[in-house]
Each structure stands twice: as structure tokens, then as C-alpha cells.
Amino acid sequence: MNRKKYYIETYGCQMNVYDSELVENQLIKTGYKQTNSIESADLIFLNTCAIREKAEETVHNRLTSLAYLKKRNPNLIIGVLGCMAQNLKDDLLKDKPYVDVILGPDSYRRIPEIITNRNKELNNIVDTKLSKYEIYNDLFPSRKEGVNAWISIMRGCDKFCTFCIVPFTRGRERSRSIESVIEEVKHAVEDGFVEITLLGQNVNSYRTSDGSFSCLLEKVAQVEGVKRIRYTSPHPQDFDENLLEVMSRYDNICNYIHLPLQSGSNSILKKMNRTYSKEEFIDLVAKIRDYIPGCSISTDVIVGFPGETDADFQDTLDMMKKIKFNFAYMFKYSSRPGTKAAEYDNQLPEDIKQNRLEQLIELQSSITLENNIEKINSVQYILIEKESKKSNNYWSGRTDGNTWTIVKKNKENVKEVIPVKIIDAKGVTLFGEALTKKELLYETN
Ligand code: SAH
Ligand code: SF4
Ligand code: F3S
């Protein structure tokens, strides 16, 4: 029998990438196989993101552009999954009647049943109920070959930062069992993955009756064959010294922390409900650098939050200069209906937000470059991930600190960790030469 084909497109954060892998496994169980050609698919799923208005617009445009496929093949199933499904189901049903299936992030367990029903009766299926318990402990993802395996260890968020839609789209915080995470790590290693990235909207709020996040991290570090471990995103409020202590003890836990700052102004941090002050953030960074000298730190920053004054924005620039993050993801505030900040009456005009974003990007670009230039002549360990896009004579891989590095090919293979002498830095990228054992000895003596 000819198996039906699915095509899935993923928007948003790594948690959505992981969820799409879970969904793929569910579809395979239902008898579907994957296709890369959207034109030939019997089922198209878009796994969506609602974090900023732009993310939603992209998906709306994509859905509009898919209407012709439905006209051509009325049996085609089009589904919207994830955070927009959760948030915008009524709009979708009204504007895009050709969408057949709308599933929120806690409804993926039902996919086999839903698809089978949809193939029998032609009515829309909507399930966007959020669950207090769904953690998919017993569902595993279908991963393609690769270097890094994403593993979700907790779902949801209880922090309610006033700008953020995630607590509404993903529901309450809940953690997977340590046992189920470790089982998945072992599977990933058996399947050839050498790097593990543990995921959660507040990855360090992870807690179970068997232990906290630092306990889980230590157990993952002890799994044989795990060459590198990363995790994202921790919340500054939930950082404890145990975690730093575990990180400093295991070589395979990367010396890298993504630590979202959001703003450098105390009054804005308060309005954002971030629960820390800039002084506490500075202390935390000092503590990190104390436990893990040279630890690479990246961040997220929002400019143009409602009521942000020139002085508040200057505080953010000052913090960036002071902390010197290795790199940063920078965003213009985007008002999300349903969140508290969307109700604030001092929303800023687009040109101010744009201007501040440009200033911030310019500053951070020079800081990133300065940090990278400091690495010239040092030895960095690079995990080779793929051929460089620019030339097949070069590898592309990341340092322990998460900086992409281009290395001239020798006899190495993908998935190997090799010592590299850094010879140049441009923008956000490092360039280096692989060292032989003899050269390494010379360099490190
Ligand atoms: N849980 C993580 C971040 C999740 S969202 C944390 O607490 O840091 C990723 C980033 O998107 C956030 O760190 C924030 O910088 C940005 N973001 C979230 N909501 C936003 C909004 N309404 N407008 C602009 N940026 C936003
Ligand atoms: Fe959003 Fe804040 Fe939760 Fe991060 S911690 S997901 S920014 S509400
Ligand atoms: Fe987007 Fe949902 Fe992730 S809103 S950033 S896909 S949790």
C-alpha cells in the first residue's frame, strides 16, 4: 500500500523543533511517511510561534499561500499546531476555513486518533486545551541524523513576564521524570548524537521528587558517549550555586550560559516582572565567572518596552558595556494581546523602537567582535558539525562557548572534538587551524 505523506514546517524556538519531532513520530505511527515536497504531501502541519507579531504574520502568510494546494486536492489535511493554535484558534477558523486541524502544544498525544477520524469525516478538529500534567514522558521524538539532540525536560512557564505570551500558549510549568530524560539521552547516544541540549522555557525551574535541575544535569553528564551538554533557557531567578558547581566539575558540560537580561533598567525590569534587579544580575554574572572562569554568556534583550525612557535605554546600553556578553539576541518589544504589558498605555512608536534596536545591535556587534578577537592565538576545542557553507575545504563547528568556528579540513570527521588554534575573528565567527597532537603540546606548554 502507498503510504500517505506528511510535510511539517516548524517556526519559533527549539522547544517547537523538539515538539515537531514528537509529532513526526506520532504521524509515522499512524502510517504516514515524511516528504520534503509540500506539493506531494497528503498532510501539511505548521508548528507555529506567537512570541512576536512578526512570527504570527509569517504563519498567516504561509497559510494563505497554501490555499491553492487545498483547492487542487480537497483531501489534503492542513493543520496548525503549537503556540498560535493555542492563541488564535478563533481567528484561524474564521479567516482560514481550509485549515482542518488546530492542535495546541498539549494535544499531540491525540494525533493518531485525530488524523484517522479526519480521514473518515470531513469536519474541523480543534483541540487546544492546556494540561496541567501532559509532559509526554512516554512519547519519543523521531530524530533525523545529526550532531545535536534537543531534549525537552520541562514544559510551560509560571513566570508571567508582563510582555510574554508563553505562559498563555504553553500553560503551567511541569517537569519530566529524571528517568525518562536519561532514557531519551541514552537513545540519542545510541542513534549517534554526541551533543545534548536540554530544553525548557525555564529550564532551571525543573524540579521532580527525585531531584532538581543540577541533579538531572549531573546525571546526563555521566551518560557514556555524551561529548557535550548545553541547556536553554535558564531564568536568572532560579540559578543556584549547585548548578554552577556541577557545571564546573564536568568537562562535557559546556562553559556556556544563555542568561536573558531583557533590560538594564531597574524600573523596566520591575514593570516586566522579571523578579531581579540589575545589581542582582551583575552579581550573578560575577558568580558564574568565579565558578567557571572564561564562561561564555549570551543574552536576550528587548528594547522599546512600554514607558522605556531614553535614560532606561541608556541603562541597557551601560549594562551591555559592563557585562560584555559574548553574543545577544535583540528584539523590539511587540505587544501581545492578552498580556499585561499590552494593556499599559505608554506604548512607544515604531521609529523609537527601531532606532534603539539599531543602536543596541551596533554596540553589541562591536562587543561580540572584541570578545572574539581576544580568542585569537588561543586554543579552542571545536565539535565538528558540518561542512562550511562557503567552501567544502572547510569544517564548521562550535567552540565550547558556542561560537561558530571555521576550520580548514584535514583528516577529521564530523562529530569529533578537535583542538584548534584561532587565527582570525570576523563578526560573530572565528577562524582557526586544527592542531596535531605535537602542536597542541607546544601550544599548551
Ligand atoms: N523563557 C525565556 C525566553 C523565551 S522567549 C526567558 O525567560 O528568557 C525568547 C525571547 O523572546 C525572550 O527572552 C524575549 O527577549 C523575547 N520576547 C518575548 N516576548 C517578547 C515580546 N512580546 N516582544 C519582543 N520580544 C519578546
Ligand atoms: Fe516568557 Fe518570562 Fe516565561 Fe521566559 S520566563 S517564557 S520570558 S514569561
Ligand atoms: Fe514561540 Fe511558543 Fe517557542 S511562542 S518562542 S514557539 S514557546
- pLDDT value of position 123: 73
Q: pLDDT of 56-106, one tens digit each?
A: 999 999 999 999 999 999 899 999 999 999 778 888 888 888 899 999 999
Q: Grid coordinates standing for 322? A: 559592563
Atom 4, ligand 2: which residue's CA is nearest? 201
Question: How far is the centre of ligand 3, averaged over its atoms, from the C-alpha of 378 (Å)?
Answer: 37
For 418, phi then psi, to 5°, come to: -125, 150
Q: pLDDT of 391-414, one tens digit each?
A: 999 999 999 999 999 999 998 999
Helix axes 83-95, 53-72, angle to 10 degrees: 50
How far is residue 445's CA from residue 440's CA, in Å, rounded to a whole number? 8
- pLDDT value of position 87: 77
* Ligand 3 near 169 CB (within 6 A): yes
The answer to whether 30 and 111 are in contact (CB under 8 A) is yes
Atom 5, ligand 2: which residue's CA is nearest? 159
Question: How far is the centre of ligand 3, averaged over its atoms, from the C-alpha of 18 (Å)?
Answer: 12
Q: Grid coordinates standing for 69? A: 494546494
Q: What angle do CA 270, 276, 277 make, to 5 degrees?
A: 75
How far is residue 60's CA from residue 237's CA, in Å, rounded to a whole number? 35
Considering only the C-alpha atoms of the chain, give the largest distance between any 2 of them, rounded to a whole number of Å. Answer: 72
How far is residue 41's CA from residue 9's CA, in Å, rounded to a whole number? 12
pTM: 0.95
- pLDDT value of position 83: 96
Q: Indicate which ligand has the atom closest to the C-alpha of 167.
A: 2
* Ligand 3 near 166 CB (within 6 A): yes
- pLDDT value of position 63: 93
Give the pairing of strands 429-434 and 101-103.
Answer: unpaired
With cell 542568561, the residue in question is 259
The answer to whether 357 and 332 are in contact (CB under 8 A) is yes
Q: Indicate which ligand has the atom closest to the C-alpha of 155.
A: 3
Q: What beta strand segments (E) does 183-286 contain? A: 195-199, 207-208, 211-212, 228-232, 256-258
Question: Which of 300, 286, 375 shows the shortest CA–CA distance to 330?
Answer: 300
How far is residue 259's CA from residue 11's CA, in Å, rounded to a whole number? 22
* Ligand 2 near 164 CB (within 6 A): yes
How far is residue 250's CA from residue 127's CA, in Å, rounded to a whole number? 43
* Ligand 1 near 26 CB (within 6 A): no
Question: How far is the centre of ligand 2, averaged over its atoms, from the C-alpha of 271 (Å)?
Answer: 14
Radius of gyration of the chain from Cα atoms?
Answer: 23
Q: Which residues of the chain have pLDDT under 50?
A: none
Atom 10, ligand 1: which residue's CA is nearest? 300
* Ligand 2 near 162 CB (within 6 A): no
For 374, phi then psi, to 5°, come to: -60, -20
